[in-house]
Structure 1
Amino acid sequence: MNEIKDPGRLMEYLQTYGIEAIFNEDIIPFLSLYSFEQGELIFSQGEATQYLFVLVKGKVKIFTTSEEGKTLILSFKTPLEVIGDIEYVRGIDTINTVEAVSPVLMIGVRQSVIRKYLKDHSPFLQFLLEIITKKFYVKSNSMRLNLMYPVEARLASYLVSIAYDENELLVNGQLSTSHLPDIANLIGTSYRHLNRVIQQFCEQGLVERSKGTILIKNLQGLKHLANDNLYE
C-alpha cells in the first residue's frame, strides 16, 4: 500500500464519483489516496480491519480461505465500491481476503476517524446503506447465474471477470490450471465437467490451454457466451 500525497487528485476522484457530499468538512483532512499493485493484498481474512476504502480505479477480487487452505473466490469489484463497510458497521475483523486484480486506487480513511466524525452524518450513513444493499442484490444475481445458466455461460463469465479491468483493459489474460478446483466450486460444477468445457472452449478458439495455464484468446466470444452476465 502506497499513500499518494496529492489533495488535488483526491478531490478530483471525490467529485468524479459525486461522493464529496457524503463526507463532512471535519473528516476531509483525514482522507488519503492509496495505490495497490496488481496481486497485492488489501485486506487479509481474519486480520483487524483498520481502514475503510472506497475503490475509485481498478478491479479487486474477494475470496475466502478454509482451515484446510482451500480458497473460494466470492466476487469481483470495480468502482464505485466500498471495501471494509460490513466490518466497520459490525465492528469485526476482516471477513474475506481482498486482492488487487489490476493496479488499484482507493480513497482510504481509518475506521476510528469515521466513528469520531461520521457516526451520525446522515449522507454517509445513507451511502453505506446503498452500498451494502447493492451487495445483497449482486449476490442474489450471482446465485441466479449459478442456478439458471449452463456451465459454459458461467465459465465464460468468470474468465471475463477475472481477466479484464473496469475499462475492459487486459490485466491478466491467463490463469493457472491449479485454480480450476476453486473455479469449479465457484461456478457450481464438478472439476471433471469444468475440464470438458475448457476443452470445448479450446476447440472454439475462445481459450488456449498450454503448460499449466489457460490463455484467453477471444474476449468478445466469451462475453457473447456469458450473455453479459458477469460475476461481480
Structure 2
Amino acid sequence: MPRSRDSKLARSPLPYHYPEERLFGDLSEDALKTLASISIPATYPKGAVLFVEGEAPRGLFVISSGRAKLSTSSPEGKKIILRLAERGQVVGLAGTISGKPYAVTAESLEEIQANFIPRQPFLQFLREHGEAALRVAQLLGEVVHATYDDVRTLGLSRSAEEKLATFLLSWMDQHGPKRGEARVSLTLTHEEIAEMIGATRETVTRLLTDFRKRQLIQVEGSNLVIQNRAGLEGLIRSQRPAG
C-alpha cells in the first residue's frame, strides 16, 4: 500500500477510472484488467506528500482527480516547482522505470484521487504488454521535451516580469476556455507562482499589482482575467534580444 505522509487513505473497492486521453487509454481490455489488478486506489488530502526527492522509488501514481505539484529544493532550502500534474497524468514514472531515487517531491495541491501502482508489478506488466511499454517510452519523451521548453523559458527570460507574463499566458492557454472570455481559475498562491517562475513571493505580489494597475490583468477572487493579452505578449517580445 502506498504510504502518504500527513494523509489517511480512503480505499475504494475498484481502482479509479483511468482517463482515456492519457497513458493507458489505448490499451487492450486484457491489459487494462491486469493493470487494474495491480493498482491501489486512494484519496489524498490537500498537502499530502506522495513521495520525497531522493527517496527510493516505490512506484508511480496515476492522478484521477485533483492536482499535485512536483518540486525540487536546493541545499539552502530554495524551492522550484517544476510542473503541476493534473487529471490523467502520471507522477513518479521516471524513477519507477530507472530504479533511481525520485528526482522531485510530489505534494497534493488539493484533495486528489490516484491509483498507486507498485514498482515491481508495474515493471512485470510492461514486460508482458509491449503496447504499454511503448506508450511509457513515448510519455517519457514528452516529459523530456516539456522540460526543455520550461528550461528554455526560464533560461532565456531576462526578468521576473517576462517570466510572470509568460506564466500567465501559458496558464490561460492551458486551463482557460477555448473561446470567449479570457477568464480562468488560478488557485495557486503567490508563493507557489514564485516557485514556478524562479522568483520571490514579494516580486510576484508586486508585479501582479503592477499588471492590474496597467490593466493587463484583473484578479477576482480565485479567477484571473486577461484584459490585455497583446500587452502581456509585448512584455515578452520587448525583452528578447534583437536579431
Normalised by the length of structure 1, the TM-score is: 0.71
CA RMSD of aligned residues (A): 3.8
Residues 218 and 226, structure 2, Cα contact 8 Å, conserved in 1: no
Q: Which has the higher contact order (CA 8 A, sep 6+)?
A: 1
- CA deviation profile, 1:34-71 (whole Å, cap 9, x unmatched): 22222221211122221211123222211111112221
Residue aligning to 2:239: none
Alpha-carbon shift at residue 106 of structure 1 (Å): 1.7
- CA deviation profile, 1:69-125 (whole Å, cap 9, x unmatched): 221111122233221111012101211111112322222211121133333421121
Unaligned runs of 5+ in 2: 178-183, 237-243
Q: How does 1:65-80 map to 2 (within 5 A)?
A: 65-80=73-88
Residues 85 and 91, structure 2, Cα contact 8 Å, conserved in 1: no
- Does residue 187 (structure 1) correspond to residue 234 (structure 2)? The answer is no
Residue aligning to 1:46: 54
Residues 27 and 113, structure 1, Cα contact 8 Å, conserved in 2: no
Distance 1:199 1:103, change over 3 A: same
State the identity as a percent.
17
How far apart, CA to CA, are the structure 2 residues paired with 1:91 and 1:70?
26
Unaligned runs of 5+ in 1: 209-214
- CA deviation profile, 1:182-223 (whole Å, cap 9, x unmatched): 54xx53678997666344224135367xxxxxx766333487
Residues 60 and 118, structure 2, Cα contact 8 Å, conserved in 1: yes
Residue aligning to 1:131: 139
Distance 1:117 1:198, change over 3 A: closer
Alpha-carbon shift at residue 6 of structure 1 (Å): 3.6
Given candidates 7, 18, 27, the residue that maps to 1:13 is 18
How far apart, CA to CA, are the structure 2 residues paired with 1:38 and 1:162?
21
Normalised by the length of structure 2, the TM-score is: 0.68
Alpha-carbon shift at residue 173 of structure 1 (Å): 5.3
Distance 1:219 1:25, change over 3 A: same
How far apart, CA to CA, are the structure 1 residues paired with 2:80 and 2:142?
21
